[in-house]
A and B are shown apart, each in its own frame.
Chain A
Amino acid sequence: MSRPDWIGRSHQRIGARDRVTGAQRYAADLPFGDVLHVKLVHLPSARMAIKNIDAREALAIPGVVCVLTAADLPQPVPRFGPAFIDRPILATGETKFFGEPVAAVAAESKDAAEQAAAKVRVDAETLPAVLSVEQALDPSSALVQDPSIRPDDPLARTNVLREWTFGWGESSAAADLVIEHDYRFPMVTHFAIEPHAYAAAPDENGVTIWSPTQHPFVLQRVVAAALKWPISRIRIVAPDPGGGFGGKGWPKFEPLMAVLALRLGRAVRLVLTLEETFQAVRRTSARIHARTGFDREGRIVSQELTTDFLIGAYADIGIRVVSKASYAACGPYRTPNARVHARALLSHTTPSTAFRGFGTPQASWAVESQLNEAAAKLGLDPIEIRRRNLPEKGEAFIPNDTPSDGNWASALAAARRAIRWDDPLPPNRGRGISLGLKSSSTASASLAIVRLHYDGSVSVLSGTSDMGQGARTVFAQIAGRELGVEPDRVAIIMGDTSIVPYDSSTSASRSTVFMGNAVIKACAEIKRQLRTLAARALEMDESRVDVGPGSVRAGDKDLTYPQVLQLVFGPPRGELIGVGEERGGGFRPNHPLGGRPEFWEFMCSAVEVEVDPETGMTEVTRLVLASDVGKALNPQQVEAQDEGAAVMGLGHSCMEELILDDRGRILNLGALDYRIPTIQDIPEELHSVLIENEDGPGPYGAKGAGEGGILGLAAAVGAAVNQAVGVTMRDLPLTPERIWRAIQSRRVQPAPGPVEATPVKR
């Protein structure tokens, strides 16, 4: 009997039904009986010296149970962080960013908490704040971080938290054409439609924290470290996030909630407003200086990049963003000579965190724009210049590292076709193309437990977070294929560290590959057990027993799994448990990133725009994506992720930017003046082409996906605008006003003379 193959089909998303009926429970929907409501108190400037906090009026409000400040915590105030332990549970001494809480109110009702928070009197003085790359590098600027936090670091008396130099080949090499510019990528915020929400309560083992975290096990160890408790006493319950994009990855207010719950001996919950969410998370902004040398055929001779990332007041995962993105910043190109000088800069701004693309959108903006300019100067088609520089599959383009693992040129060709690159262009229209390359997970681990129940149904236990990408569905499909069970007889259990086994994170587009492989291995383990147990029960040699998906052939008998289990266990019943682990290539201590990327996430984006030259208003008319995914286990889910990532990319390309005043306050705080793409901002044509060569390390040849769409989008838009109205933009976002300004200044300046290749003198 032939079974439908569960792989490569767009199965209905598990959880879709609950989401369309309103039954899905997000963190703020969880019912708590007796719970205290928490409201944070924060100050009106980024950097303020806290002189005194007077909570008497607040405490007098009926229903208010506690107003916690840094003074109430053990001294020195406990700090936490996923990589660098720098962030205090509550601001101590001075606030370091606009929105850093100085106190937390707990009350019996939301109203009481809100009123009390407004009544906490904080006597504080505004201090000069470091708010930009230039200010961070200026030796006369204030230090964001107390040098005593990193006493052995020679950079401790600067705002450079860390710096790196990556590279190979010559530091200078002769080139026929050198292009050198500065590029800027703005501060943007994730704006998941679900604001952050948390809860915590003491439990019989220690404490339970509810947080829509993408990485429950990171949260578990960070809280354990902050409390100085064993991991085993911390339980994280992680409801499916209402959008994560990296913003719900790394701990923010959970340590504070744990402290409150334990101190008060009661459950506490905190739901941030959207404004507070903007203050809590953002992408690293960057200034990138790029100097790219080409020969006259358009082949890259050298890339020298200085990548200055403004990471914010605390490190969060910022150091990793900078190192990972800078290491691979040269892009998917043969680069014989490369130097990347990277710096992670502290500032009195929201601690930046992971955000889809993890530093690569910033680097791509610069590198891809350089290629577009070179193409124009050399009279080459932008597709052709890329094609000439693409490595072949299997070719290393970063020495001693994971080589190109896809037929990347075919994605370029597919995008060219899909956008109809060679169609004639009406006036004021332009097209742009770009490539995006992101390294996936470099050293991580995923464990999965699969349970085969007595009746043949299956449970999969996984620490992955399903934040909209459809992880549950993919794992059900895999278990379905491996064990021959209908996906509706597969239960996917996620989001509880007391139940599911360890997983590093849901990030770096890694979960289909790592957790998917772990699920396959766990299923293989179950099949091994079935074989051994069946052979023993049937008193035959194992060599005569063959286990396939859903059935066991023993000698000349065909048995279903339940039949085997009945035979094996008898009336007392039982179950089989398989554990699978995927660690990939593993940790390499000598590698700058700790390991090689397991796979490369590669995307070609192509865009067509129409610009109104009098107003600068820009309409994106077509947007296509061609991604090298290996195998799309659920094509609809992959396409939907690509499309979503691309539209998110339109955001930072065309309209998103957090605007700060000189006191570090965010002026466009909230949905009214922070503009993200709406349904009226999308192109008429938006689609994703999936290149499937089954050449990935994941299940059935899969690679990861989900971030590709956002990586190179901005440069494609920039190139399209350039073709449409003849202006070159190097600062994002390309708002109507900025485009208008560029058009005006081009009109005012004399037209540039013919461009000559500039030989480099050395």
Chain B
Amino acid sequence: MHPFAYARPDKLDGVLSILNEHGPAARLLAGGTDLIVRMRLGHIRPAVVVDPKHVSDLSGEIVTTGHGVQVGARVTMTMVIEDARMREHFPALVEAASVVGSIQIRNRATLAGNICNASPAADTVPALLIYGAVVNIVGSGGARRVPLTEFLTGPGKTVLARGELVQSIDLRFPEEPAGAAFGRITRRRGVDLATVNLCGLVTASGESRFAYGAVGPTAFLSVDSSGLLGDRPIDEGRRAAAFRALVAPARPITDVRGGRDYRTAMLEVMTRRTWTKAIERLRRQTNGGRPV
């Protein structure tokens, strides 16, 4: 690895001023599971690496807020998976976080880091999208909030401007009962990057939110408010059409992990399966936890 200077400020201001001063020549080191790989391969050569893990304003905790939870910048995948509130209110996110790499990766990789790395195939992103995640950004110029749908702008690209970082991610508790499920296609059953990943959520009132990754420059969210994908009997053909509309924005490519036509076909298969699981879980919710 190319040498760099290492900074470990204990205040947020310290981090921000370094990021401001050096711009793209400074990199934030959260879990390191993406950054260190890229540095080793020589894809990036920062002059400064800033370690924010000792900054108290960058929380390593999941905090209950009025309407939901706030996941601090330093929260790891393992913390997300083990948190009782996440498991109860955002189970599909826990499912997604559980397949990010191995336990060694999950003990270090942060949720914030995952979205900042902005890989189109990031597993947590579809789950965060269906749960309506909002990103809290802070910079020397102040703070702003950006919905995750707008935060990701392309492969490896976000709206973060020079000198900005993600301070936390907000998730609102669902306002009505809902069922959600995560799914993905991989090349082997073991640890893998997704060929296609997705997350689907269906509410009791029939709104459906499905988000897809690895099939476009960024993950995308499709919302169906028609109610056609709710838990109600409808004509199979209309449901199939509604599924097709969900995946319509997908722009899959052919790469080492999969061919375009395979990905396209898997979107259809996995949408149907994920929807079925989401409906089952919705029913369990609305039946007070009793299986249907």
Contact = CB atoms under 8 A, between A and B. Distances in A.
Interface stretch (B137-145, B181-189, B197-205): B181-189
Interface string A653-692: 0110001000000011000110101111100000000000
A736 B190 contact: no
B256 A675 contact: no
Interface string A20-41: 0000000000000000000000
Interface stretch (B206-214, B219-227, B259-267, B277-285): B259-267
Which of the listed residues A615, A673, A679, A741 has the most CB atoms from chain B within 10 Å of its own CB? A615
B256 A681 contact: no
B190 A679 contact: yes
A115 interface: yes
A680 B257 contact: no
B232 interface: no
A118 B42 contact: yes
B252 to A, nearest CB: 12
A621 to B, nearest CB: 12
B47 interface: no
Interface residues of B, number: 22
B191 interface: yes
Which of the listed residues B1, B189, B265, B270 has the most CB atoms from chain A within 10 Å of its own CB? B189
A681 B188 contact: yes
A680 B185 contact: no
A681 B189 contact: yes
B193 interface: yes
Contacts of B258: 737
B189 A680 contact: yes
B71 to A, nearest CB: 26
Contact of A672 (B185, B188, B193, B266): B193
Interface string A445-462: 000000000000000000
B291 interface: no
Interface string B128-150: 00000000000000000000000
Contact of A681 (B1, B190, B262): B190
B269 interface: yes
A152 interface: no
Contacts of A741: 262
A654 B42 contact: no
A402 interface: no
Nearest to A618: B189
Contacts of B192: 675
Which of the listed residues B1, B3, B191, B262 has the most CB atoms from chain A within 10 Å of its own CB? B262
A198 interface: no
A667 B2 contact: no
Dominant SS among interface residues on chain B: loop
A740 interface: yes
A675 B42 contact: no
Contact of A678 (B1, B42, B188, B266): B188
A373 interface: no
A146 interface: no
Contacts of B1: 114
Dominant SS among interface residues on chain A: loop
Interface string A731-744: 00001110011001
A124 to B, nearest CB: 19
B3 A111 contact: yes
B191 A678 contact: yes
Interface string A597-626: 000000000000000001101010000000
A181 B262 CA distance: 26
Contact of A615 (B2, B256, B269): B269
Nearest to A680: B190
B257 A673 contact: yes
Contact of A673 (B3, B185, B256, B270): B256
Chain A contact patch, size range: 20 to 34
Nearest to A654: B188
B265 A675 contact: no
A187 to B, nearest CB: 14
A737 B256 contact: no
B259 A737 contact: yes
B192 to A, nearest CB: 7
A737 B190 contact: no
Contacts of A655: 187-188
Contacts of B42: 118
Interface in A679-730: 679-681
Contacts of A115: 2
Contacts of B2: 115
A535 B178 CA distance: 93
Given A115-B2, A672-B193, A673-B256, A615 B266 contact: yes
Given A111-B3, A736-B185, A737-B262, A667 B256 contact: yes
Given A617-B185, A659-B256, A741-B262, A678 B190 contact: yes
A619 B188 CA distance: 9
Interface in A212-270: none
A675 B193 CA distance: 11
A139 B267 CA distance: 44
A655 B256 CA distance: 12
A615 B185 contact: yes
B17 to A, nearest CB: 29
A441 B266 CA distance: 48
Interface in A246-298: none
Given A115-B2, A615-B269, A737-B262, A675 B188 contact: yes
A672 B188 CA distance: 12
A680 B192 CA distance: 11
Contact of B187 (A111, A619, A675, A679): A675
Contacts of A614: 269
B190 A740 contact: no
A672 B187 CA distance: 12
Given A118-B42, A615-B266, A680 B256 contact: no
A735 B191 contact: no
A741 B259 CA distance: 10
Given A672-B193, A673-B256, A736 B269 contact: no
A668 to B, nearest CB: 5
A617 B1 CA distance: 38
Contacts of A678: 188-191
Nearest to B259: A737
Interface in B84-123: none
B160 to A, nearest CB: 25
A615 B192 CA distance: 16
Contacts of A659: 256
Interface in B59-92: none
Contacts of A736: 185, 187
A653 B220 CA distance: 35
Nearest to B269: A614
Contacts of A744: 265
B276 to A, nearest CB: 12
A115 B42 CA distance: 11
Nearest to B258: A737
Contacts of A680: 188-191
Contact of B188 (A111, A667, A677, A740): A677
Given A673-B193, A680-B188, A681-B189, 10 more contacts: A615-B269, A619-B189, A655-B187, A655-B188, A667-B256, A678-B191, A680-B189, A681-B188, A735-B187, A744-B265
Give the 7 A-B residue pairs with the shortest CB-CB distance, closest first. A678-B190, A680-B190, A737-B262, A614-B269, A681-B190, A680-B189, A655-B188
14 contacts: A615-B269, A617-B189, A667-B256, A672-B193, A678-B189, A678-B190, A680-B191, A681-B190, A736-B185, A736-B187, A737-B262, A740-B265, A741-B262, A744-B265
Interface of B: 1-3, 42, 185, 187-193, 195, 256-259, 262, 265-266, 269-270
